[in-house]
């Protein structure tokens, strides 16, 4: 009478649950680590974008000043001034997914990313711009 019944025993179900639990315990921390690393790499990409904008502003400055390269403070003032190639708001605006700030009161120009994709980074990603080719 019981020979034709099909299904899983309680032992088999518990064994599968244990294996799934072990896999989840290993996979979830690895996934979180990969997500954090992806945010850091995205922040580095945002810093590269701002550096590209500063490099363009430096090239424009040099063309207007007989090839003379500005120091970092002069470049930041030139890049973000009223008649600038880019203004202070647009310099750090690399999209709504990033929280980027810049500071250029002293050399070098500092670019800081504190959030990516609406998630605050555990440690801010910081880059510096010293001049073209940086």
Q: Is residue 62 part of a domain?
A: yes
Whether the per-residue pLDDT at 90 is higher than 80: the answer is no
Mean pLDDT calculated for residue range 56-71:
88
Q: Is residue 96 part of a domain?
A: yes
Q: What tens digit of pLDDT does each residue of 1-54 get?
A: 556 677 888 999 999 999 999 999 988 888 878 988 999 999 999 999 999 888
Q: Compute CA distances 17 → 7, 10, 23, 26, whole Å.
A: 16, 11, 10, 14
pLDDT attached to residue 75: 86
Q: How confident is the model at residue 91 (pLDDT cuts 50, 70, 90)?
A: confident
Residue 111, both tokens: 């670019």
Q: How far is CA 56 from the centre of its chain?
A: 21
Domain total in the chain:
1
The helix-helix angle for 10-64 and 72-80 (nearest 10°) equals 90
Q: Is residue 134 part of a domain?
A: no
Residue with tokens 């001049």: 131
Domain enclosing residue 47, as ranges: 11-129
Q: Is residue 109 part of a domain?
A: yes
């Amino acid at each position: 009478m019981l020979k034709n019944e099909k299904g899983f025993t309680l032992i088999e179900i518990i064994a599968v649950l244990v294996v799934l639990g072990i896999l989840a315990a290993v996979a979830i921390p690895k996934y979180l680590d990969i997500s954090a690393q992806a945010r850091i790499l995205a922040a580095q990409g945002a810093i590269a974008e701002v550096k590209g904008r500063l490099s363009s502003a430096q090239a424009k400055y040099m063309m207007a000043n007989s090839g003379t390269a500005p120091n970092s403070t002069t470049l930041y003032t030139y890049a973000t001034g009223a008649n600038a190639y880019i203004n202070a708001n647009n310099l750090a605006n690399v999209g709504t997914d990033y929280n980027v700030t810049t500071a250029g009161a002293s050399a070098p120009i500092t670019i800081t990313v504190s959030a990516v994709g609406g998630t605050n980074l555990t440690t801010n990603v910081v880059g510096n711009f010293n001049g073209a080719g940086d």
